[in-house]
């Protein structure tokens, strides 16, 4: 058993609050603009990508705050959330790549790169935590912060695209 220090608990609690607030704002923005989003072939996936990044950060930080978890559980949580944060958007991007929409408009490569900068550090964190290295928490922090940034950028692009 390796309980988080009070410093890490404070950090993850702050990230829970930030990711919950940002996720709520994006859900409201998507709800208000749902008709416009659904009218464009690429925008529903964009909305999903932004929400997956934000919800991934929310879920991971919430899970890590569960008291008295073994390090193996923390590693599994980082690995599972990291895998989902990577795999789900990649499925959307693959569909965009195969769509009739020209790739210079769909930008699946750029979107794939954006998605990976949030999920990849979570997978590194999982591997390090599984080996018992406390450095995994720093990689977790990087993954969470980058996921928040990916979600914010994705939501911004989504809302700008609605107005084009």
Contact residues for 56 (Cβ-Cβ < 8 A; gap 6+): 81, 82, 84, 85, 118, 119, 122, 147
**Structure pTM?**
0.90
The pLDDT tens digits for 62-106 are 999 999 999 999 999 999 999 999 998 888 877 777 777 665 665
Domain map (residue ranges) of the chain: 6-162
Instruction: Choose among 22, 12, 59, 31: nearest CA to 149.
Output: 22
pLDDT-derived band at 1 (thresholds 50, 70, 90) equals very low
CA dihedral over 73, 75, 79, 82, signed as positive or negative: positive
| Structure confidence by residue, pLDDT tens digits, 33-71 | 999 999 988 889 889 999 999 999 999 999 999 999 999
């Amino acid at each position: 058993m390796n309980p988080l220090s009070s410093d890490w608990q404070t950090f993850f609690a702050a990230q829970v609050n930030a990711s919950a607030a940002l996720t709520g704002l994006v859900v409201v923005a998507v709800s208000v603009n749902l008709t416009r989003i659904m009218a464009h072939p690429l925008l529903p996936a964009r909305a999903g990508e932004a929400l997956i990044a934000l919800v991934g950060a929310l879920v991971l930080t919430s899970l890590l705050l569960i008291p008295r978890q073994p390090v193996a559980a923390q590693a599994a949580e980082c690995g599972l959330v990291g895998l989902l944060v990577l795999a789900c958007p990649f499925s959307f991007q693959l569909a965009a790549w195969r769509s009739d929409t020209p790739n210079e408009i769909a930008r699946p490569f750029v979107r794939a790169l954006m998605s990976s900068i949030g999920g990849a550090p979570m997978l590194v964190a999982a591997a390090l935590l599984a080996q018992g290295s406390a450095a995994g928490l720093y990689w977790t922090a990087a993954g969470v912060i980058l996921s928040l940034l990916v979600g914010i950028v994705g939501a911004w692009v989504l809302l700008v695209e609605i107005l084009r």
